[in-house]
């Protein structure tokens, strides 16, 4: 990957395993949108970013070089060798196809509180509805930021305090029965009873136990938070799509030990390819 600073921002030339469309449709993030053809706008860690695909495998990050290295380089997990991970699936015919179809997927390193609330909302839902619910939540309870370039402003993700103190507003965001789970989780974080930053530093098992002890948080939600928010890359969330894949291609048995240290990346390839194949494929 080559990085070049230009007047408009930072250009990434030939980044390995990087496809914005695949990343933002892979079910791990819900605040990125394609606002024009090949132009994506997203908000992470209270910061707005636009990314434009200029040409085949040539991306413009509309930010300073300092911002790219201080935030976005880590956010997009550019340090990790995804090509090596893809080579490790050799001999597994399903995964060999999956890594070709999802060649540009990366695991985003996202804010743990946002991931906790987002994946609580995700229960028994689908990606378009999750995005809608999250956006409404931000509009009603998040701070509004004016865009310094004169474009449309944006809403920050609500703070634990905002969510903990406004259960009625949360209930009006279309999240259904999950409103009580959101309030409870926010209050645990606000009081310090749940320290998400600390959960980054402990074992995956200890972090999992802490998350699953929360009201309304099950195994799938906990594993998603571990993977996408706490960077425990051995999380292997099993949702409807993953279950379909495991049942059809692995008779319900899949030995994840082969992929110790990056099981979550393998899960993302499975998830993306499963959704690409579509429900009719699994009938």
Active site amino acids: 220
DSSP structure class, residue 232: -
- Rounded CA-CA distance 2/11 in Å is 8
Q: Is 17 left (phi over 0), alpha (psi -120 to 50) or beta?
A: left
- Rounded CA-CA distance 94/73 in Å is 30
Residues contacting residue 273 through CB under 8 Å, at least 6 positions apart: 94, 97, 98, 101, 102, 245
Radius of gyration in angstroms for the set of CA atoms belonging to the chain, rounded to a whole number: 19
Helices (H) and strands (E) in the chain, counts: 15, 8
Tell me if 54 sits within 8 A of 6, measured CB to CB: no
Mark out the alpha helices in the chain (DSSP H runs).
20-24, 65-67, 73-75, 82-87, 93-101, 112-121, 127-141, 160-164, 167-171, 179-191, 196-201, 204-212, 219-228, 240-250, 263-277
């Amino acid at each position: 990957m080559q990085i070049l600073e230009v007047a408009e921002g930072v250009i990434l030339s030939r980044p390995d395993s990087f496809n914005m469309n695949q990343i933002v449709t892979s079910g791990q993030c819900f605040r990125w949108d394609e606002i024009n053809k090949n132009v994506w706008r997203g908000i992470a860690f209270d910061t707005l970013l636009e990314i434009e695909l200029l040409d085949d495998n040539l991306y413009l990050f509309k930010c300073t070089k300092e911002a790219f290295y201080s935030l976005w380089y880590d956010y997009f997990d550019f340090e990790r060798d995804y090509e090596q991970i893809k080579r490790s699936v050799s001999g597994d015919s399903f995964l060999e196809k999956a890594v070709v179809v999802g060649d540009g997927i990366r695991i985003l390193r996202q804010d743990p509180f946002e991931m906790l609330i987002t994946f609580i909302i995700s229960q028994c839902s689908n990606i378009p509805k999750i995005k809608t619910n999250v956006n409404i939540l931000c509009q009603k309870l998040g701070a509004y930021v004016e865009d310094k370039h004169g474009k449309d402003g944006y809403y920050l993700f609500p703070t634990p305090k905002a969510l903990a103190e406004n259960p009625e507003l949360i209930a009006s965001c279309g999240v259904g029965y999950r409103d009580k789970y959101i309030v409870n989780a926010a209050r645990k974080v606000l009081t310090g009873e749940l320290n998400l930053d600390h959960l980054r530093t402990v074992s995956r098992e200890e972090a999992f136990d802490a998350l699953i002890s929360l009201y309304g948080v099950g195994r799938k939600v906990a594993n998603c938070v571990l993977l996408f928010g706490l960077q425990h890359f051995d999380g292997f969330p099993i949702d409807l799509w993953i279950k379909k894949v495991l049942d059809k291609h692995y008779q319900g048995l899949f030995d994840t030990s082969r992929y110790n240290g990056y099981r979550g990346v393998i899960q993302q390839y499975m998830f993306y390819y499963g959704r690409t194949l579509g429900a009719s494929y699994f009938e």
